Amino acid sequence: MDEQRLRALLESVRANTTTVDAAIHELRHLPFETIGDFARLDHHRALRRGFPEVILAQGKTPEQVAQIFGRLAERSNRVLATRVSVEMYAAIRDRLPEAIYHPLARLLYLDRSATQNRLDGIVVASAGTADMPVAEEAAITAELTGSRVERIYDVGVAGLHRLLDQAEALQRARVIVVVAGMEGALASVVAGLVAAPVIAVPTSVGYGANFGGLSALLTMLNSCANGVAVVNIDNGFGAGYLAGVINHLGRTTDGA
């Protein structure tokens, strides 16, 4: 029920041309969700101000992606599309030159907000170089939520010293995204070193009994360390977004 209809109904009640009973009846049978929806959207907008509008490009045509991205770019300072192919980017490049394409992370984004206002506090750590696409997807997403991201890559548990060399940086973080394929043990080891919440992203990197990321997923779910939660295999976006949300908790920010 849009505001015009609601206002008209209430005016009519006030003018005594609609009885209270009739108004109650109408309120009950109109599409009720609209009212609640306004409330919720307002509420959300307040909380998520400055967060990007997000498009999952996978399964859409290049033209569809270009159109949706373009429309969002007209009304928002931060727009993000995930799982974007080169063909999709080609469809938007000329129309919207300010859009940036990151081929490794398969992200297409636009950020007109001031980067100096970003909140620090997020670390994205990854186990191997082959995990970098997912790690970058997480890192760029988190940046678009208005956070600064420290990248600590190639610190797999088989070479513990490289990880331990970064212990201080890890311990400074407010929230950590850990990206790892193969055996995925990095999440447990990092969570054992820090007090911050750890968001673990299993990747499909590996072969054989990796089963498309299942091994790393199970490892992370079964972590014996406290403070770890897991997102879907290769879901760098999800982890970066959640890290951004958590990083904004308890902060006052003027971003976007």
Specify the 3-state DSSP secondary structure of 115: helix
Q: Candidates 76, 195, 253, 256: give the one binding its own copies (CB under 8 A).
A: 195
Q: Candidates 152, 184, 255, 256: give the one binding its own copies (CB under 8 A).
A: 184
Contacts of its own copies in 137-176 (CB under 8 A): 156-161, 164-165, 167-168, 171, 174-175
242 — alpha (psi -120 to 50), left (phi > 0) or beta? Answer: alpha
- Tell me whether residue 98 or residue 174 sits nearer to its own copies (CB atom): 174
Binding mask 72-111 for its own copies (x = CB under 8 A): -----------x----------------------------
Of 95-103, 108-116, 146-154, 188-196: span binding its own copies (CB under 8 A): 188-196
Phi/psi at 246 (5° precision): -65, -40
Render 77-89 in DSSP notation, one character per residue: SEEEEES--HHHH
Residue 157 CB neighbour total at 10 angstroms: 18
- Tell me whether residue 31 or residue 98 sits nearer to its own copies (CB atom): 31
- Which pair of tokens denotes residue 213? 């990321």
- Which pair of tokens denotes residue 116? 């100096």
Residue 120 near residue 149 (C-beta atoms within 8 A): no
- Tell me whether residue 75 or residue 161 sits nearer to its own copies (CB atom): 161
Residue 249 CB neighbour total at 10 angstroms: 8
Q: Candidates 6, 96, 151, 154: give the one binding its own copies (CB under 8 A).
A: 6
- Tell me whether residue 97 or residue 249 sits nearer to its own copies (CB atom): 249
Q: Is 50 in the site for its own copies (CB under 8 A)?
A: no
For its own copies, how many residues bind (rule: CB under 8 A)?
111
Q: Any bridge partners for residue 179, and if so which?
A: 126, 201
- Tell me whether residue 110 or residue 243 sits nearer to its own copies (CB atom): 243
Residue 216 near residue 236 (C-beta atoms within 8 A): no
CB of 126 to its own copies, least distance (A): 12
Contacts of its own copies in 211-230 (CB under 8 A): 211-230
CB of 164 to its own copies, least distance (A): 3
Longest dimension (CA), the chain: 79
Q: Measured between alpha carbons, how far is 68 from 84 in angstroms, rounded to an integer? A: 13
- Tell me whether residue 22 or residue 90 sits nearer to its own copies (CB atom): 22
- Tell me whether residue 27 or residue 96 sits nearer to its own copies (CB atom): 27
Q: Is 10 in the site for its own copies (CB under 8 A)?
A: yes
Q: Candidates 101, 124, 142, 206: give the one binding its own copies (CB under 8 A).
A: 206
Q: Candidates 66, 122, 128, 256: give the one binding its own copies (CB under 8 A).
A: 128
Specify the 3-state DSSP secondary structure of 4: helix
How far apart, in Å, are the Cα atoms of 164 and each of 118, 133, 136, 160?
27, 23, 22, 6
